């Protein structure tokens, strides 16, 4: 249940979070203008400029079970608690570098380490490469003697999808599941069928329905199954999943991905929380450390996940 304070409308976005919207306008224009995938990826690497440097965090690149990854280690953190982080970028862009600072903010506020993945990207690598990489990194964490109930998943956009599909694959392979998962602005629907694709079409500054369909095609390949539950968890059996807490912007075309997933997960008996942030754009949390709305979202996640990781309430 969300509180009245959590449900209150944000009447005017802060100047800092408006910068995210301006960036998405540039990104959308650039995606139309770029003549190559490499150019689009190079442009998107600048996402990191949206996020303030958290400070007091060390970064170490590592091979996580064959998957390139980066540790974000806040000073004085509890090192046997870990968040496994899946970056966004439509599965074709984004990296552990674009999201280094964002997930360091999460780790620093929680008081744990973050492992930020650099999974294989489309279209060079089709599904299930991405979810297989994510599972390999999770298994690697378990082999590092990190207890499953001391791990939480977190991911934005495409990474929000992986924060669920990796759970499904782990469950189906008989692995112990993490304590919780935190998808935000998650992309689940490879069929692009949500009503918010229409109702938020004029509000969303980044996406178009055709653009999302194109990204799904890049991920799944020409003959890919858009109902594959390891790519589209709206078609999955969700029984047995750990608690899920979703955040989504009210102006996103992907709004219904989160609302429909929450409804479906509850029907399978999963503990689910969902916060919709009125007036917010896709992945507004990228403005962490600069925008109060981004910091509010992260603070809600922190307050929710710390007890689940056995860290107690925030002091």
Domain boundaries, the chain: 14-308
Q: What is the mean pLDDT of the chain?
A: 93
The alpha carbon dihedral of 33, 36, 40, 42 has a sign of negative
SS3 annotation, 183-224: EECCCCCCCCCCCHHHHCCCCCCCCCHHHHHHHHHHHHCCCC
* Cβ-contact 73, 106 below 8 angstroms: no
Q: Average of pLDDT values for 35-49?
A: 85
Please give the residue that has the higher pLDDT: either 220 or 12.
Answer: 220
Looking at the DSSP bridge assignments, the partners of residue 152 are 83, 180
- Given this model, what pLDDT does residue 314 score? 60
- Given this model, what pLDDT does residue 214 score? 95
Q: Is 217 exposed, middle or buried (0-12, 13-18, 19+ CB in 10 A)?
A: middle
What is the rounded distance in angstroms from the CA atom of residue 88 to the CA atom of residue 98? 9
Residues present in the chain in total: 315
Is residue 6 predicted with pLDDT exceeding 50? no
Q: Which CATH superfamily hosts domain 14-308?
A: Alpha/Beta hydrolase fold, catalytic domain (3.40.50.1820)
Q: Average of pLDDT values for 264-281?
A: 97
- Given this model, what pLDDT does residue 28 score? 80
- Given this model, what pLDDT does residue 3 score? 42
Please state, for a pLDDT cut of 90, what percent of the chain lies above it. 83
Q: Average of pLDDT values for 237-264?
A: 98
Tens of pLDDT, residue by residue over 125-135, are 999 999 999 99
Is residue 193 predicted with pLDDT exceeding 50? yes
Plot region of 60 (φ>0 → left; ψ -120 to 50 → alpha; else → beta): beta
Please give the residue that has the higher pLDDT: either 20 or 142.
Answer: 142
Plot region of 37 (φ>0 → left; ψ -120 to 50 → alpha; else → beta): alpha
Is residue 75 predicted with pLDDT exceeding 70? yes
- Given this model, what pLDDT does residue 4 score? 41
Is residue 46 predicted with pLDDT exceeding 90? no
Q: Average of pLDDT values for 26-46?
A: 80
Give the residue numbers marked as catalytic: 157, 252, 282
Is residue 9 predicted with pLDDT exceeding 90? no
Query: DSSP labels for 134-153?
Result: HHHHHHHHHHTT--GGGEEE
Q: Is 284 exposed, middle or buried (0-12, 13-18, 19+ CB in 10 A)?
A: buried
- Given this model, what pLDDT does residue 43 score? 85
């Amino acid at each position: 249940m969300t509180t009245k304070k959590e449900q209150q409308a944000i009447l005017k976005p802060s100047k800092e979070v408006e910068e995210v919207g301006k960036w998405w306008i540039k990104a959308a224009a650039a995606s139309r203008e770029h003549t190559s995938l490499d150019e689009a990826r190079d442009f998107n690497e600048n996402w990191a400029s949206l996020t303030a440097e958290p400070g007091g965090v060390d970064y170490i690149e590592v091979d996580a079970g064959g998957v390139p990854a980066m540790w974000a280690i806040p000073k004085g953190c509890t090192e046997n608690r870990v968040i496994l982080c899946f970056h966004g970028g439509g599965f074709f862009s984004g990296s552990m570098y674009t999201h280094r600072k964002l997930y360091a903010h999460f780790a620093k506020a929680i008081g744990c380490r973050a492992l930020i993945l650099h999974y294989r990207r489309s279209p060079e690598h089709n599904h299930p490469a991405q979810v297989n990489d994510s599972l390999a990194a999770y298994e690697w964490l378990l082999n590092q003697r990190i207890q499953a109930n001391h791990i939480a998943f977190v991911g934005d956009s495409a990474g929000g999808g992986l924060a669920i599909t990796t759970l499904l694959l782990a469950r189906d392979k008989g692995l112990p599941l993490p304590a919780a998962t935190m998808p935000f602005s998650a992309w689940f629907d490879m069929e692009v069928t949500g009503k918010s694709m229409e109702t938020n079409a004029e509000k969303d500054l980044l996406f178009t329905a055709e653009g999302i369909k194109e990204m799904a095609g890049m991920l799944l390949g020409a003959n890919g199954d858009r109902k594959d539950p390891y790519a589209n968890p709206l078609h999955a059996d969700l029984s047995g999943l750990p608690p899920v807490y979703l955040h989504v912007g009210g102006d996103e075309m992907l709004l219904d991905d989160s609302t429909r997933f929450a409804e479906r997960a509850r029907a399978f008996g999963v503990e689910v929380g969902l916060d919709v942030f009125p007036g917010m754009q896709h992945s507004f949390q990228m403005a962490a450390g600069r925008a109060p709305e981004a910091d509010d979202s992260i603070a809600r996640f922190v307050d929710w996940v710390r007890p689940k990781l056995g860290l107690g309430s925030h002091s």
